[in-house]
């Protein structure tokens, strides 16, 4: 389909320009007028080279993720425009001019075209699952059906913002330990690969029996120097194999169960999964999504196969006419406080509100748990780095000290 470049004036008497796909120039003019743009110049855009077209295809916005911050701004701005009485197509057109993210701007433009052609907003969003996931499209669909799209979009904005804050807390807590591990690996590697080989021959020429520590360090150094390519390839292959195994249902189940059982760290993993599950389910139920559909989405958002299996059992129980709390309690993966609050919410008809309280509670527990974990791991990792460096240095100093003593 030809691409047309245009210049025009909006209803607010503001100049605008851009490109669009249309079957003909008259069809392009008609589409622009329907969007509230009065074209002053329009012509077929120049055809790009094959390499430029390939690069564009490789960088299609829908193939890359949009940041949570951009999605929060989009949701809140669209809700504000709809709340002010602006029609949906005009609201989407206005947002295509305001959105700073080029990726999201292109996608919203395509969504606007789909809606303008008669598609439902949720169906248009569903074409871009890497940007608008199942939770987002289900909420929008429920909002369109109930006539509460503005409220649903505001809730989606709040949900995504809370999700972003939780992820930032986890990243912030894990950054320091990871940096310490990387620093330890770099320092150890430099000493073993570059420093030790330079003094190994000197130590051997001393014709003195080497201490056990020195022999071990020299052996490790020689192994790394001689076999570093094999070691790198082996580690890469092991990583790929591990990644492949955890993609399988059984492998994911075993790995996630192991993560939940790790001392200290496992508690934080469980808190994060419970927080995600509770907030997601609360948001979906408050948005008017059916309980069965909401549980289907929430189990995948939890990010843990063990928790997801327990939620799936609860979903099956709902279809048989029983409660959610029972299967969750029997699974043993949900703390008694959580199952009790869910049971109370089911009995009082305020399940969404109870789940929201659970999410807030576990958000605080996640933050406290991560703070304790960081406080504990900081000194331990610092001690680890110092110990490695000291052992390597001692391995070179001990033979010299023994030689001095012998003299």
Q: Would you state the pLDDT for residue 241? A: 94
Residue 35 lies in domain: 3-47
Domain boundary among 159, 193, 214: 159
Which string of b and e fits 277-315 if b means at least 16 CB within 10 Å?
A: bbbbbbbbbbbbbebeebbbbbbbbbebbbbbbbbebbb
> Looking at the domain assignment, is residue 57 inside a domain?
no
- Asked if 84 and 223 sit in the same domain, the reply is no
Residues 325 and 227 grouped into a single domain: yes
Q: Is residue 59 domain-resident?
A: no
Instruction: Give the per-residue pLDDT at 48.
Output: 41
pLDDT score recorded for residue 45:
61
Q: Which pLDDT belongs to residue 2?
A: 63
Same domain, 72 and 32: no
Q: For residue 95, which of 81, 84, 83, 85 has the smallest C-alpha distance?
A: 81
Is the distance from CB of 342 to CB of 324 less than 8 angstroms? yes
Query: For 46-64, what is the mean pLDDT?
Result: 43
Task: Judge if 258 and 282 occupy the same domain.
Answer: yes
- Which are the contacts of 270, defined by CB distance < 8 A and separation ≥ 6? 260, 304, 307, 333
Sign of CA dihedral 242, 246, 250, 253: positive
Cβ(6)–Cβ(28) below 8 Å: yes
Structure tokens that stand for 179 in this block: 């940096």
Residues 358 and 398 in one domain: yes
Last residue of a domain, one of 159, 181, 207: 159
**In this predicted model, what pLDDT tens digit does every residue of 80-99 receive, in sequence order?**
999 999 999 999 998 988 88
Q: What tens digit of pLDDT does each residue of 265-297 get? A: 888 889 888 988 898 888 888 888 888 888 888
CA distances from 253 to 239, 303, 305, 309 (A): 18, 11, 5, 9
Nearest of 359, 354, 341 to residue 274 by alpha carbon:
359
Closest CA to 337 of 281, 296, 378, 278: 278
**pLDDT confidence tier of residue 56, bands split at 50, 70 and 90:** very low
Domain shared by 171 and 287, yes or no: yes
Judgement on whether residues 37 and 87 belong to the same structural domain of the protein? no
> Which domain CATH number covers 131?
1.20.81.30
Residue 309 in domain? yes
Span 297-345, pLDDT tens digits: 888 888 888 998 888 888 888 888 888 888 888 888 899 989 999 999 9
Q: How confident is the model at residue 167 (pLDDT cuts 50, 70, 90)?
A: confident
233 in the same domain as 130: no
pLDDT of residue 76: 92
Beta pairing partners, 43 = 5
Residue 325 lies inside a defined structural domain of this protein:
yes
Q: pLDDT tier at 405 (50, 70, 90 boundaries)?
A: low
What is the model's pLDDT at position 238? 94
**8 Å CB contact between 93 and 77:** no
Residues whose CB is less than 8 angstroms from the CB of residue 11 and which lie 6 or more positions away in sequence, other chains included: 36
pLDDT (tens digit per residue) in 243-270 = 999 888 899 899 999 988 988 788 888 9
pLDDT confidence of residue 225: 83
More confident residue, 95 or 372: 95
**Tally of domains in the chain:** 3
- Listed in sequence order, the residues at least 6 apart from 265 whose beta carbon sits closer than 8 Å to its beta carbon are 259, 373
DSSP H or E stretch at residue 44: strand 37-44
- Shared domain for 128 and 213, answered yes or no, is no
Does a structural domain hold residue 55?
A: no
């Amino acid at each position: 389909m030809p691409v047309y470049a245009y210049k025009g004036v909006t209803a607010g008497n503001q100049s605008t320009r851009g490109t669009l796909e249309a079957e003909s120039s008259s069809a392009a003019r008609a589409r622009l007028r329907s969007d509230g743009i009065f074209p002053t110049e329009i012509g077929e855009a120049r055809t790009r080279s094959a390499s430029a077209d390939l690069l564009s295809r490789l960088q299609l916005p829908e193939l890359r993720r949009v940041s949570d911050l951009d999605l929060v701004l989009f949701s809140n701005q669209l809700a504000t425009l709809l709340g002010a009485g602006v029609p949906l197509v005009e609201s989407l057109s206005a947002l295509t001019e305001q959105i700073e993210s080029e990726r999201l701007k292109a996608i919203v433009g395509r969504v606007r075209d789909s809606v303008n052609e008669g598609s439902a907003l949720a169906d248009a969003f569903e074409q871009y699952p890497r940007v608008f996931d199942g939770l987002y499209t289900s909420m929008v669909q429920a909002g369109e059906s109930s006539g509460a799209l503005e409220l649903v979009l505001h809730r989606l904005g709040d949900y995504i913002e809370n999700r972003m804050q939780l992820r930032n807390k986890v990243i912030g807590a894990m950054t320091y330990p990871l940096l310490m591990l990387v620093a330890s690996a770099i320092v150890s590697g430099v000493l073993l690969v570059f420093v030790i080989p330079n003094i190994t021959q000197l130590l051997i020429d001393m014709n003195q029996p080497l201490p056990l520590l020195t022999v071990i360090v020299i052996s490790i150094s020689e192994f790394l120097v001689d076999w570093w390519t094999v070691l790198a390839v082996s580690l890469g292959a092991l990583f790929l194999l591990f990644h492949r195994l955890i993609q399988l249902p059984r492998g994911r189940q075993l790995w996630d169960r192991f993560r939940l059982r790790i001392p200290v760290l496992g508690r934080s993993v469980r808190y994060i999964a419970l927080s995600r599950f509770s907030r997601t389910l609360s948001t979906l139920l408050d948005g008017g999504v059916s309980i069965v559909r909401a549980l289907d989405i929430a189990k995948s958002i939890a990010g843990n196969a063990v928790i997801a299996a327990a939620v799936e059992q609860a979903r099956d129980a709902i279809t048989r006419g029983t409660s959610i709390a029972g299967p969750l309690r029997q699974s043993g993966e949900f703390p008694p406080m959580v199952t009790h609050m869910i049971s109370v919410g089911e009995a009082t008809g305020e399940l969404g509100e109870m789940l929201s309280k659970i999410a807030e509670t576990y958000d605080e527990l996640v933050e406290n748990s991560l703070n304790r974990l960081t406080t504990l791991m900081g000194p331990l990792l610092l001690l680890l780095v110092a110990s490695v460096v000291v052992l390597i240095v001692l391995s070179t100093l001990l033979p010299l000290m023994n030689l001095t003593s012998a003299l």
